[in-house]
């Protein structure tokens, strides 16, 4: 094994570990780090086992997981009766909440959707309902993101071994 392959495998392993940690730590873009790690692992072997089509599938899955992570809270708010302001507020709350760690990630979409809906309709019960929808959307989006991460790892392992 050439020296650069060992370095690439080390970088790949570090990126995948950081990516998995990023699924629970809001400051790290988990799914993108996992994709970068899997790309480095494929590169370490000269793309002999994991080629362009597998990497394309992994990239599409990573994009889907990243998009779900960002839009889940806003979508949940709109599904629970929130309007455009709740949707925008949920997305803004999710983005702003990243700066406040785990409490911000959990509360940001709720507060953003509730504030957006309250700003528009001045109805506390509708605003709270939109906030709950945003929170449920975040929880479901996180579950989907974790599932996509495991699918990515599975696709890589199957392509590598078979």
**Per residue in 91-106, pLDDT tens?**
788 788 878 877 887 7
Mean pLDDT in residue range 6-29: 88
Within 13 A of 156's CA, how many CA atoms are on the CB side? 25
pTM for this predicted structure: 0.78
> 34 vs 116, which has greater pLDDT?
34
> 59 vs 144, which has greater pLDDT?
59
For residue 27, pLDDT beyond 70:
no
116-141 per-position pLDDT tens digit = 889 988 888 888 888 888 788 878 88
- In this prediction, residue 107 carries a pLDDT of 85
Domain ranges in the chain are 3-161
């Amino acid at each position: 094994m050439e020296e650069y392959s060992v370095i690439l495998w080390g970088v790949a392993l570090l990126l995948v570990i950081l990516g998995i940690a990023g699924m629970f730590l809001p400051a790290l873009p988990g799914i993108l780090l996992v994709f970068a790690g899997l790309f480095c692992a494929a590169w370490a072997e000269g793309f002999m086992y994991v080629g362009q089509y597998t990497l394309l599938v992994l990239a599409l899955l990573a994009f889907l997981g990243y998009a779900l992570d960002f839009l889940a809270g806003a979508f949940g708010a709109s599904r629970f009766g929130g309007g455009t302001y709740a949707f925008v507020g949920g997305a803004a709350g999710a983005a702003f909440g990243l700066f406040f760690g785990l409490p911000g990630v959990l509360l940001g979409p709720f507060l953003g959707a509730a504030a957006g809906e309250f700003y528009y309709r001045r109805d506390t019960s509708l605003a709270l309902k939109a906030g709950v929808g945003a929170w449920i959307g975040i929880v479901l989006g996180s579950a989907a993101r974790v599932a996509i991460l495991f699918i990515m790892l599975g696709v890589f392992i199957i392509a590598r071994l078979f």
